[in-house]
Structure formats: C-alpha cells, structure tokens
C-alpha cells in the first residue's frame, strides 16, 4: 500500500526510501573566462570567443580569473561552506570538445566544503563541496539524426571552453523528487540573489545531474547509485528521479541489483537509458596543475565576502512572512523572493496594504520582466481599492498590468478605464435579471445539495459577470444569490 | 664577435645589423648541412628585422640592448606565423598565432631571430638524436652528439651561427649541451623567465635559458628575457638585481661548496672530514672531476673559500625526475590528439583517430615517457610514485637551504662525460638518462644553475663545470662564472 503525501508524488512504495544527491554545474556570469581574457558570453557565433589559452594551443598557460574565484567564494559562503586555500588539479581524459584533453578542476582541495542548504519546508540538505572548474566546448553531431554513434561528423564550438563553472555537490540527503526540485529552485534563488550566475537551465548555465539510489525504509545504508544526466528542466529532474527509483525498487525486489553507471534521461519516452558504466570509466589521473599557483584567500577576504553578502532567500522569506503576520502563503513568499518582488510587497504592507491580498496580487499577476514602475504606494493604493470593494479582482489585475507598463497611479487608471465595482441596487438588479432569465438553473440552485449549489453558483455568477461586463464583485454576487435563495 | 660587441657596434653605426646577419647566414649555409643545428632558417624575416634595426639606428631612435644581435631559438618556442615543430611529426606544419613572451622580449630588445633550432622531440632526450628530423652534430667533432635536448641551440652558438641562442631546461637541457659544446648555458630560477609560449614538457620543471659563447652575453640575454609576465601564473613578481653590471666584481670572500654527492673521486673529498658515509652518483668521469677540482682551485685563487658540502638527496634526483617529468608530460602532451592542429590520421571515430594520430606522430622516447607518466599517475599508484617524488623535492629543498646557510654557491660537474659518439647510448634509455644526473637537482628545487666551459677532457673535448645557487642568485652565479671564464685554459673550446 502506498501512502499519498499531499503535494508530493509517491516515488517509491513506503517500505523503500529514496536517496538522492545532486551535482549542479553552474556557469558563473563573469565578464571573461576562467583562465583567459576571452568574453564569457552565450549565443555568439561559434569559435569567436577563443584565444591560444582556451583553445589549449601548445605553449599557452592559464591564469586564474580573480572575479571567478570571488564569485565561487561568495557562493560558498552563501551556502554556509568553509572557504579554504585550494589548488587546481588536472582531470585527464580525452574528448574532442576539451582542448587540452584535460579539464582544470579542483580535486582534493576545493575552494568550498561542508555547507548546507535549507529548503523552504525546513528540510536541510548538506553540501559536500562547491568547487571551481572550467567548462568544455560544445559538440554538435551532424548526420545520423544527430546521434553520436551514427553521425557523419561533428562540429565543435569552443566559445564555451574555459567558461567558469562551480560544481555544487550535495550530500545524499534528498528523500523525495519534490525535495530535489525544491533544492534546485532554492539554489537558483541563492545564485540570483548573490548575482553570480543567471542560472538558466534551458540555456545550460545551470546543469543538474542526479545520483539516485533506494534502500529499505529504516536502513541507513547507501546502495548502488546511478548518475542521471541530461536533466534540462525541473520537470525532467522530478520525473527522472521517480522513474529511476522505481527501476531500482523493481530490480532489488526481483532479486537483482542495479549496476553503478551513468544513465541518460530520455524525455520523450519518459525513461532513463544506460550510458557509460563506471567500471570501465576513465581513470582521471588527477594531479595538481603545475601551471597554476594555489589559491590562498586571506581571512579578511572571507570576512569581506560575508559582510557584503545580500540577504539570502531564506531570510527574505522569513522577513516577508513576519511582515505579513501569517497572511502571506509560503508559496507566494517563495515565488516573490525568487522574482525579487519581496521588497515591493513588504514596502506596500508597510504603507498599509493588506498583506495577503498584496502578496497574492503580485505573485499571481505581476509575472513580468520589468515591473519597476510599480511603486509600493501605488500597490498599497490598489490593494486598498480592492479590499474596500471599489475594484473587483478582475479589474484589479488589469489595473496592475497597466501600472507595470508605466500607467501611473491606480485610481487614475481605474477612472480612465471606467472601472468601479458595481454595488448596491445596480448589482441587485443585475442579479435579479439573471435569476429571471435562468429560471430552471435557479430552481435547481435553490433545491440542490451543497455540491450542486456550488456548481450552479459558478454558472449564475458567470452570467452576472457577463451582463455587467466584469464590473460585479464575485463575492458580492455570491452573497446576493444566497440571500435570494433564502438560505 | 660577441653579442654585446655586435650590439655596441650596431648602436654606434660601426656595423649594420644587416651586415652582421649576412655574415652569420653565410656561416650557416656554409656549415649547417654538416651540423644540422637548424630546423628552419628565417633568412628573409631576419633580414627584414635587421633592416628595421638599422633604420632605427640611422634615425637616431633608441634601440635595445641586443640591437642587431642574431639569436637562434629552440624550436619549442612559439613564433607567430612561423612553424614551431618541437622536432616532432606531430606538430609539423603548425604555425602558432602568437609569439612566446621571451620572443617578444628579444624582439623589443632589438635582437634578430635567425632561425629555429633542432631538439630532442618535445625536449625529451640528452643528445638531440630523438629529433624526428635527424640528429644535430657537435661542431667540435661531428661524429659526436651536441648533447640535448637543446643540442641545436648549443651547436648553433658553438659553430658561430648565432652569438646567442635560447634553450629550455627541464632536467639539464640547456646546461648539458652547453657543456658538451663548450658554451655558456644558464638555467634561471623557476619563474624568473616567463614560460608563456614554451611548448610544455614538464611544467613544474621547465625553464627557458640563454646559451652564449661567453658569460657576459648570457647575462645580457637573461636580463632581456627575464621579469614578471602576467600571462604566466608561476612567474616571479618584484624587482631584480642587475646582472651584467656586477659581472666584474669577482669572488673575493665568496663561499663555494663542492657538492660531495656529484664529485666522487675528487681529491678534495678525500681531504674533507665527516664524509665517510656519503653515497655519490656514479659515472662521472675522472677527467671531468679533474676539471671541477681545477675550477675550485681557480675560484680559491680569486679569493673564494671552497669547502666540501653534502646534499644527500642529490642522489635521489634522477629517480624522482623520471617520475615527475613523465607524469606531467603525459598530461601536457594529451592535447596532441589530431582534433585541432598538427598531424591527423583519420579513423572510424574520434577515439580511434586520437590513437592513430598519436601512434604516427610521436617518436619512441616520447611514447615511452607518456606511458611511464600515465602509469605513475594511475589510481592505486599515485601515492607510491608521484606523491613520493613530491616528498623528495621537499627534502631536497630543505637540504639545499641548509647547505646555503653555509655557502653562497655550489660547485659540481655539469655532465658526467664529454660529448659521446652518435648512437652510443640510443639503445639504452637508462644510460642516456644518466647524462642529467648532475643537472636535475636544480630543476627539482627550482634554483638557478649555470654551466661554464672550463677546459677539456682527456679526449680534447670541452668540459663544463656547474655553479648552482639559491633562488634568484643569478647575479652571484654569473659573477663566479665570469671568474672561471677568465681563469679557463685558452684555446680548448674553439671548434
């Protein structure tokens, strides 16, 4: 028997526990690449942002980009990591999109270790390390349907080669697919808050690999894991984890065991497929890169980073919740902080706005790129018009949209649009008109049980809205329908 | 004519850079078919550069300290638009899109790049016989090797093809050929000269150094190419003491330590106390030790105090080196995969193309070292091999620091023997590796060392003696080398 947890899909039967750790690669949004002066820019013509260093030409040498190191340390501190002296190491393996046939990374002495990330629901995920490394080029296989094995030839774009990455490795502390998604969302919110990456999964500036295993509930063993790659959206991440966990449960239950291997998520068919087996994987022959000097951040440098860190999403959500006095939902708070609209809502609350309405209105109806023209005072005034019944919810949304486009103060916009909530006798007349025009529905409404009444109330309210061209307030119409039915 | 003599004559207008160049080009065309010092002679480019120097002089513009001096470059130094082969089939035809920092600095000092010299493939060797384009011969005796890996540069200076040349020294590749060809060779402090544009062999050991017919020219070249470079993270920042200006100050009061471990058979060892348990490196010839003893006496005569010192870890150098250098090389040479430049031998897929290109492009010694290094870094072997060599380096640095508490410079032989015959050691790699036994310690510590000719061996061929010092001690080393140069027996070293 499986137990359904509200808001979470049951990944595995309850006698099994899901164990997930995530490896997230994040491209840092520095002006230049990690070891040379080439522009770090997505989307340029192939092989235009290249030089002897990032092409790995003979004789060229890397020089560490101080801005990238600073970004990585900021991220480390935002994740509560210990920031220490670190060394760059070479990870040796052959691949055509890797110019030197080794990747400069960090191995046994990474910049950041031992942090944690607290999810909005309070669950804490440990961070093992967050290390700096360079990205590879990008290979495009031509012919054979773009698949690596049947391709006629391959093209390599080295613009991405040498772009600075931080790889954030979590501990295997994630227990549900929803937690995995929440972890990535929260990490993304932190990255945006401290301004070190644009963290766009769809552009590949944030790439997630999931290490998935299962174990009998109550056990603390770590069983064979599979690393799932090619997870290009939160949806894919969740689906892949659920699929893979079930595959493991099926294997263990059938007396078999999963092979430790890399697997790829096949979005179209909703399944994972085997990739490279870890047993015949490369020996990376890590050793300290003799071309680069160790990083030795001074204690003052780390202290300065701490002092300059902006408020982080968890703290901002807490601040918003406190200002809202319990009226702001957790979902709204998370969304507002992610979009950076929490300051606006908090200022509007300070200016007297109803916290719940202000938060909901902005969370639901201000999902636009540029909302700078909306001032806290304007938002507070809009919310006041809505709570006092001068504007319906529908009208309020339209006014807010116009405010975001630079339309000015809400009362002026509402007046220009001829908006005012219909009230009193006008509204009563409109309701009576609809009742008389829909006699059959009305009699069923009056005689119906609760479910029937709810269904027909929706229909009748819709008719009133249509007759009044949206100027009626839904709640007031509902109240009037109840009065007329004598209940 | 010396490099500094040429620069002075060109600056004063006494000679033109073009005239000087043509004289050297004539010597090259006369004798380089026999010697094989050059992979490529850049006659046209050099004439253009020489004319520019002459034009600057006639305009009265300031010209650099090496104005009009022809310089030969080891063919593992990148030259913009000019083939840079490392004497390997793998890079044949590759033209770098940039100049190495040292090449830029030579150009701005007014030097005229005359050509690219032969080397053991990717600088791996001690005789220049590992070149894919054929060996270089020693100008003193063309049946003999010039040493290596910078054999082409050493031979070019010895044969008078160029008064100055650059080599690179990973385990002795500047000093050993300098010794065998009777010229001066300096391996600077690690980080004193930018490695940007030097095709890497073993990054933690590689250092570019000058080769010249005399100490003052080597010093002037070192001054021109050294200094901090933001393109090399390992390059040393900060002000340096001048070198050329102090060359004539002598060695009065200088404390010199003869390294017991490198000088088995020296008369001084028998006289010294407390050296009973010293184990010395084997194979250093008696006539070479005789020249080292003579050099010690010459320094004493000039006012230096010579003692015998022990650096026990010196005997571990060769073993440590032949793990560290191949390990780093196995990684540095991975990029020659047929994808972006150099040789490509097509195959069914990318991985097979990597294999076929590398199989066809690399010579036997390069393959041997890639295999050694790959093995040394492999999972399960790292601690037993690579990690242990790092401890040897630490030990060696500690022992050198102790030695330098008592002496200012160390003295020893550069190479175990004089130049040997072509083919004499090609069948036995270990025998060949032993050539570097006296030079390797300075690479492992990153300290500077210079080889200066000091007479001949029993066979009449040049012998070099080696002066070693702590980091950034080039001014002292070259000052002592200048004293030896003056005290060296006349003739002997002219090919």
- How do residues B147-206 score in pLDDT, each as one tens digit? 999 999 999 999 999 999 999 999 999 999 999 999 999 999 999 999 999 999 999 999
For B3, counting Cβ atoms within 10 Å of its Cβ (0-12 exposed, 13-18 middle, 19+ buried), the class is buried
Among residues B162, B37, B184, which one has the least CA distance to residue B483? B184
3-state secondary structure at position B41: strand
Query: What is residue B255's three-state secondary structure?
Result: strand
B126 is catalytic: no
- List, in order, residues 6 or more apart from B392 with CB less than 8 Å away: B313, B316, B317, B319, B320, B444
- Do A269 and A173 lie in one domain? The reply is yes
Q: Residue B275 CB: number of other CB atoms within 10 A?
A: 16
- Last residue of one domain, picked from the residues B246, B268, B283: B246
Task: Report which secondary-structure segment, H or E, holds B402.
Answer: helix B386-406
**Which whole-number Å values give the CA distances from A262 to A212, A221, B305, in the listed order?**
10, 21, 67
- B66: Cα separation from own chain's centroid: 20
Spatial CA neighbour of B42 closest among B198, B209, B156: B156
Which CB contacts under 8 angstroms, 24+ apart, belong to A104-110? A104/A34, A104/A35, A104/A62, A104/A133, A104/A134, A104/A289, A104/A292, A105/A131, A105/A132, A105/A133, A105/A134, A105/A167, A106/A131, A106/A132, A106/A133, A107/A286, A108/A286, A109/A84, A109/A85, A109/A294, A110/A86
pLDDT at A54: 97
Q: What are the chain B neighbours of A295 within 8 Å (beta carbons)?
A: none
Q: Are residues B404 and B357 in the same domain?
A: no
Strand order in the sheet with A124-134: A82-83, A112-118, A124-134, A164-170, A16-27, A206-216, A226-231, A261-266, A271-277
**What span, in angstroms and rounded, lies between the C-alpha atoms of A342 and B20?**
76
Q: CA–CA separation, B119 vs B149, rounded Å?
A: 5
The angle subtended at Cα A183 by Cα A180 and Cα A184, nearest 5°, is 90
Q: Which residues contact A238 (CB under 8 A, 6 or more apart)?
A: A9, A177, A178, A180, A181
A158 and A141, same domain (yes or no): yes
Nearest in space to A22 (alpha carbons), one of A310, A238, A198: A238
H helical segments located in B182-279: 215-225, 267-271
Asked whether residue B178 falls in the same domain as residue B284, the answer is: no
Q: In this structure, is residue A167 part of a structural domain? A: yes
> Of the residues B347, B377, B407, which one is the last residue of a structural domain?
B377
The CATH number of whichever domain residue A460 belongs to comes to 1.10.10
Q: Beta strand B305-309 with B255-259: parallel, antiparallel or unpaired?
A: parallel
Owning domain of residue B65:
3-246
Q: Which residues pair with A142 in a beta bridge?
A: A153
Of B311, B262, B254, the residue nearest B289 (C-alpha):
B262
Tell me, what CATH number does B27's domain have?
A: 3.90.1300.10
Rg (CA), chain B: 21
The Cβ of residue B274 has, within 10 Å, a number of other Cβ atoms equal to: 9
Asked if the C-beta of B234 comes within 8 angstroms of chain A's C-beta atoms, the answer is yes
Closest to B174 (Cα-Cα) out of B197, B154, B192, B189: B154
A301 and A319 assigned to the same domain: no
The catalytic position among B131, B150, B153, B173 is B173
Match 């099926």 to its residue by tokens.
A250
Instruction: Output the CA–CA distances (angstroms, integers) from residue B418 to A461, B159, B414, B465, in the order listed.
Output: 107, 17, 10, 11
Following DSSP, what letter does each residue of A406-462 receive, concatenated? Answer: T---HHHHHHHTT---B-HHHHHHHHHHHHHHTHHHHHHHHH--HHHHHHHHHHHHH
From the candidates B87, B127, B149, B194, which is the catalytic residue? B149
Query: Helix, strand, or coil here: B149?
Result: coil
Q: Are residues B336 and B451 in the same domain?
A: no
CB B114 within 8 A of CB B161: yes
Is residue B383 assigned to a domain? no
A179 and A320 within one domain: no
Q: Is residue A199 part of a domain?
A: yes
Residue A353 sits in the same domain as residue A283? no
Q: Is residue B402 part of a domain?
A: yes
- Is residue A3 domain-resident? no
**Residue A1 domain flag:** no
> Whole-prediction pTM value?
0.89
- Looking at chain A, how many residues does it have? 487
Cβ-Cβ pairs closer than 8 A, A with B, add up to 97
- State which H helix or E strand residue B233 sits in: none
Q: Which residue of B has its CA nearest to A157?
A: B340
| Statement to judge: residues B414 and B308 lie in one domain | yes
Look at residues B180, B188, B122 and name the one whose alpha carbon lies nearest to residue B151: B180
Q: Which two tokens stand for residue B402?
A: 């102790």
Q: Which of A273, A306, A339 is the last residue of a domain?
A: A306
pLDDT of residue B364: 97
Asked, for residue B112, whether it belongs to a domain, the answer is yes
Q: Do A283 and B379 touch (CB under 8 A)?
A: yes
Q: Tell if the CB–CB gap between A60 and B196 is shorter than 8 Å.
A: yes
B220 and B115 within one domain: yes
Q: Using a CB–CB cutoff of 8 Å, tell me whether A58 touches chain B.
A: yes
A441 & A371 share domain? no
| Closest CB to B230 among A60, A63, A285 | A63
Instruction: Confirm or reject contact between A61 and chain B (CB < 8 A).
Output: yes
Q: Are residues A161 and A55 in the same domain?
A: yes
Any idea what DSSP says for residue A259?
P
Q: Which of B222, B246, B270 is the last residue in one of the domains?
A: B246
Q: Helices in B109-199 by DSSP H: which ranges?
A: 151-158, 175-181
The reply to whether residue B96 touches residue A64, judged by beta carbons under 8 angstroms, is: no
Going by C-alpha positions, the residue among B397, B407, B399 that lies closest to residue B467 is B407
Q: Chain B interface, mutation test: which of A290, A293, A294, A296, most B Cβ atoms within 10 Å? A: A290
**Residue tagged 């060296």 (tokens):** B488
ipTM of the complex: 0.96
> Do B145 and B201 lie in a common domain?
yes
Other CB atoms within a 10 A radius of the CB of residue A102 amount to: 26
What pLDDT shows up at residue B494? 61
In a domain, B495, yes or no: no
- Do B83 and B224 belong to one domain? yes
Q: Measure the CA–CA gap between A245 and A298, rounded to whole angstroms.
A: 44
CB-based contact B96 A52, cutoff 8 Å: yes
Give Cα A75 to chain centroid, integer Å: 17
Q: Among this protein's residues, is B173 annotated catalytic?
A: yes
pLDDT of residue B98: 98
Q: Do B263 and B222 belong to one domain?
A: no
The pLDDT of residue A131 is: 98
Chain A residues lying within 8 Å of B230, measured CB to CB: 63
In this complex, is the C-beta atom of A147 within 8 Å of any C-beta atom belonging to chain B?
no
Best of B337, B386, B391, B446 to mutate (most A CBs within 10 Å, chain A): B337
Per the CB < 8 Å rule, is B196 touching A61? Answer: yes
| Residues β-bridged to residue B73 | B116, B166
Regions of chain B with pLDDT less than 50: none
Distance from the B436 Cα atom to the nearest Cα atom in chain A, whole angstroms: 22
CA distances to A73, A124, A190, A193, A320 from A314, rounded to whole Å, are 19, 12, 9, 11, 10
- A285 interface with B at CB cutoff 8 Å: yes
In a domain, B493, yes or no: no
Let me know whether A23 and A41 are in one domain: yes
CB atoms < 10 A from the CB of B398, how many?
12
Return the pLDDT at A147: 64
Q: How far is B331 from chain A, CA to nearest CA, in Å? A: 7
Distance of CA B481 to the CA centre of its chain: 16
Last residue of a domain, one of A416, A441, A459: A416
Q: Is B12 on the interface with A (CB under 8 A)?
A: no
Sequence-distant (≥ 6) Cβ neighbours of residue A126 within 8 angstroms: A114, A115, A116, A170, A171, A173
Q: Is A249 on the interface with B (CB under 8 A)?
A: no
Q: Which residue of B has its CA nearest to A91?
A: B331
Task: Give A294's contacts in chain B (Cβ within 8 Å).
Answer: none
Total count of domains within chain A: 3
Task: Round to whole Å and give the CA distance between B297 and B290.
Answer: 11
* DSSP structure class, residue B241: -
CB contact under 8 A, B377 and A291: no
Mutation to test the B interface, candidates A57, A59, A153, most B Cβ within 10 Å: A59
Model confidence pLDDT, tens digit, residues A211-244:
999 999 999 999 999 999 989 999 999 999 999 9
Residue A145 included in any domain: yes
Which among A55, A56, A293 has the least Cβ separation from residue B233?
A293
Does residue B149 have an active-site annotation?
Answer: yes
Nearest to B327 among A100, A156, A287 (CB): A287
Residues B346 and B410 in one domain: no
B432 and B355 share one domain: no
- Per the structure block, which two tokens stand in for B380? 């399960």
**Does the beta carbon of A55 lie under 8 angstroms from any beta carbon of chain B?**
yes
What stretches in chain A show pLDDT beneath 70? 1-11, 145-149, 276-281, 420-424, 487
Q: Looking at the structure, do residues A441 and A381 belong to the same domain, yes or no?
A: no
State which residues form the domain around A360: 313-416
Tokens encoding A16: 């099994």
Taking the CA of residue B189 and the nearest CA in chain A, the distance in Å comes to 16
Q: What is the helix (H) or strand (E) element at residue A227, kind and residue range?
A: strand A226-231
**Contact of B475 with B246, CB cutoff 8 Å:** yes
Distance CA A127, CA A79 (A): 8
Report CB contact under 8 Å: A96, B350.
Answer: yes
Which of A416, A445, A463 marks a domain boundary? A416
Do B180 and B264 sit in the same domain of this protein? no
Nearest CA in chain A to B195: A59
User: Rounded to a whole number, what is the distance in Å from the CA of B258 to chain A's nearest CA?
Assistant: 31
Verify that A152 and A207 share a domain, yes or no: yes
3-state secondary structure (DSSP) of residue B308: strand
- Considering only alpha carbons, which residue of chain A is nearest residue B99? A59
Q: Do A57 and B379 touch (CB under 8 A)?
A: no
Question: Are A183 and A174 in contact, with CB atoms under 8 Å apart?
Answer: yes
What pLDDT score does B421 carry? Answer: 98
Q: Of B327, B292, B318, B364, nearest to B172 (Cα)?
A: B318
Judge if the upstream peptide bond of residue B149 is cis by omega within 30 degrees of 0.
Answer: yes
pLDDT for the residue B278? 82
Q: Is the domain of B331 the same as that of B478?
A: no
Helix (H, G, I), strand (E, B) or coil at B395: helix
Mark whether A287 and A433 lie in a shared domain.
Answer: no
Same domain, A428 and A472: yes
Query: Taking CB atoms and an 8 Å cutoff, what residues of chain A touch B100?
Result: 59
Tell me which residues of chain B, numbers 308 to 367, contact chain A at a CB-CB cutoff of 8 Å: 327-328, 330-331, 334-335, 337, 339-341, 350-351, 354
Number of domains in chain B: 3
For residue A96, the chain B residues in CB contact (below 8 A) are: 337, 339, 350
Q: What is the pLDDT of residues A30-85, one digit of tens each?
A: 999 999 999 999 899 999 999 999 999 999 999 999 999 999 999 999 999 999 99
Distance to chain B for A263, nearest Cα, Å: 21
Interchain proximity B331–A293, CB inside 8 Å: no
Closest CB from A63, A64, A283 relative to B231: A63
DSSP state string for B62-96:
---TTTT-EEEEETTB-BTTB---TT-GGGTT---
Of B230, B234, B337, the CB nearest to A101: B337
């Amino acid at each position: 028997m499986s137990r359904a947890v509200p808001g979470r899909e049951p990944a595995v039967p309850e006698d099994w526990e899901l164990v997930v750790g995530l490896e997230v690669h994040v491209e840092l949004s520095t002006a230049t690449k990690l070891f040379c002066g080439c522009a770090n820019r997505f989307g340029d013509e192939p092989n235009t942002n290249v030089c002897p260093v990032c092409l790995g030409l003979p004789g060229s040498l890397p020089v560490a980009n101080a801005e990238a190191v600073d970004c990585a340390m900021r991220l480390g501190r935002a994740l509560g990591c210990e920031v220490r002296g670190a060394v760059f190491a070479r990870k040796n393996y052959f691949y055509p999109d890797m110019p030197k046939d080794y990747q400069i990374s960090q191995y046994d002495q990474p910049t950041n270790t031992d942090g944690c990330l607290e999810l909005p629901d309070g669950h804490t995920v440990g961070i093992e390390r967050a290390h700096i490394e360079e990205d590879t080029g990008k290979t495009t296989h031509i012919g054979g349907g773009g698949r690596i094995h049947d391709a006629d030839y391959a093209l390599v774009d080295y613009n991405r080669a040498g772009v600075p990455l931080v790889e954030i490795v979590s501990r295997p502390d994630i227990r549900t697919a929803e937690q995995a998604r929440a972890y990535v969302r929260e990490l993304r919110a932190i990255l945006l808050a401290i301004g070190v990456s644009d963290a766009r999964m769809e552009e590949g500036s944030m790439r997630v690999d999931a290490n998935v295993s299962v174990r009998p509930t109550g056990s603390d063993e770590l069983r064979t894991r599979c690393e799932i790659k090619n997870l290009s959206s939160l949806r894919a991440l969740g689906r892949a984890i659920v699929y893979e966990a079930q595959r493991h449960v099926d294997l263990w239950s059938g007396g078999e065991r999963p092979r430790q291997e890399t697997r790829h998520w096949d979005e179209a068919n909703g399944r994972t497929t085997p990739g490279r087996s870890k047993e015949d994987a490369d020996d990376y022959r890590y050793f300290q890169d003799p071309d680069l000097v160790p990083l030795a951040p001074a204690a003052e440098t780390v202290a300065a980073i701490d002092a300059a860190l902006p408020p982080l999403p968890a703290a901002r959500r807490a601040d918003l919740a406190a200002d809202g006095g319990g009226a702001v939902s957790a979902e709204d708070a998370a969304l507002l902080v992610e979009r950076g609209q929490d300051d606006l809502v908090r200022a509007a609350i300070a200016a007297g706005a109803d916290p719940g309405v202000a938060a909901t209105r902005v969370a639901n109806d201000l999902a636009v790129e540029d909302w700078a023209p909306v001032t806290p005072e304007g938002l507070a005034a809009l919310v006041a018009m809505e709570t006092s019944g001068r504007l319906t919810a529908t009208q309020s949304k339209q006014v807010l949209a116009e405010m975001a486009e630079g339309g000015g103060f809400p009362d002026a916009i509402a007046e220009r649009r001829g908006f005012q909530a219909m009230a009193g006798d006008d509204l009563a007349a409109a309701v009576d008109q609809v009742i008389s025009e829909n006699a059959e529905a009305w009699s069923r409404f009056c005689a119906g049980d609760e479910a029937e009444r709810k269904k027909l109330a929706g229909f009748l309210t819709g008719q009133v809205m249509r007759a009044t061209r949206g100027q009626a307030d839904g709640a007031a119409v509902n109240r009037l329908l109840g009065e007329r039915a004598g209940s | 004519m010396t490099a500094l003599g040429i620069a002075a004559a060109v600056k004063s207008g006494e000679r033109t850079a073009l005239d000087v160049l043509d004289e050297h080009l004539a010597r090259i065309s006369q004798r380089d078919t026999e010697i094989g010092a050059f992979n490529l002679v850049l006659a046209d480019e050099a004439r253009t550069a020489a004319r520019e120097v002459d034009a600057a002089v006639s305009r009265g513009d300031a010209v650099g300290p090496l104005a009009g001096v022809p310089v030969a470059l080891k063919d593992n130094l990148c030259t913009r638009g000019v083939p840079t082969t490392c004497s390997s089939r793998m890079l044949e035809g590759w033209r770098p899109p940039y100049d190495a920092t040292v090449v830029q600095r030579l150009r701005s000092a007014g030097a005229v790049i005359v050509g690219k010299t032969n080397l053991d493939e990717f600088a791996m060797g001690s005789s220049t016989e590992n070149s894919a384009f054929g060996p270089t011969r020693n100008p003193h005796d063309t049946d003999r090797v010039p040493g290596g890996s910078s054999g082409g540069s050493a031979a070019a200076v010895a044969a008078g093809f160029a008064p100055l040349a650059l080599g690179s020294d990973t385990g002795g590749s500047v000093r050993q050929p300098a010794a065998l060809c009777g010229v001066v060779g300096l391996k600077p402090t690690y980080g004193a000269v930018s490695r940007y544009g030097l095709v890497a062999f073993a990054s933690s050991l590689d250092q570019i150094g000058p080769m010249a017919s005399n100490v003052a020219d080597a010093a002037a070249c070192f001054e021109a190419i050294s200094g901090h470079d933001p393109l090399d993270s390992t390059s040393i920042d900060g002000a340096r003491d001048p070198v050329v200006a102090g060359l004539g100050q002598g060695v009065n009061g200088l404390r010199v330590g003869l390294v017991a471990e490198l000088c088995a058979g020296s008369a001084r060892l028998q006289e010294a106390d407390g050296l009973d348990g010293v184990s010395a490196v084997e194979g250093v010839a008696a006539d070479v030790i005789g020249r080292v003893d003579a050099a010690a006496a010459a320094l004493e005569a000039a006012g230096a105090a010579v003692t015998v010192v022990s650096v026990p870890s010196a005997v571990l150098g060769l073993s440590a080196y032949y793990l560290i250098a191949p390990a780093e090389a196995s990684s540095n040479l991975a990029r020659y995969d047929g994808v972006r430049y150099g040789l490509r031998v097509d195959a069914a897929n990318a991985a097979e193309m990597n294999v076929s290109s590398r199989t066809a492009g690399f010579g036997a010694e390069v393959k041997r070292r890639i295999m050694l290094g790959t093995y040394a870094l492999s999972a399960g072997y790292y601690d037993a091999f690579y990690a242990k060599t790092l401890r040897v380096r630490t030990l060696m640095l500690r022992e050198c620091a102790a030695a330098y508490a008592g002496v200012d410079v160390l003295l020893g032989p550069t190479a175990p023997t004089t130049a040997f015959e072509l083919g004499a050691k090609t069948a036995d790699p270990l025998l060949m590796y032993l050539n570097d036994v006296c030079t390797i310690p300075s690479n492992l510590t990153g300290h500077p060392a210079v080889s200066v000719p000091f007479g001949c061996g029993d066979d009449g061929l040049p012998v070099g003696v080696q002066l070693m010092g702590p980091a950034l001690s080039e001014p002292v080393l070259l000052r002592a080398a200048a004293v030896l140069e003056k005290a060296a027996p006349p003739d002997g070293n002219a090919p």
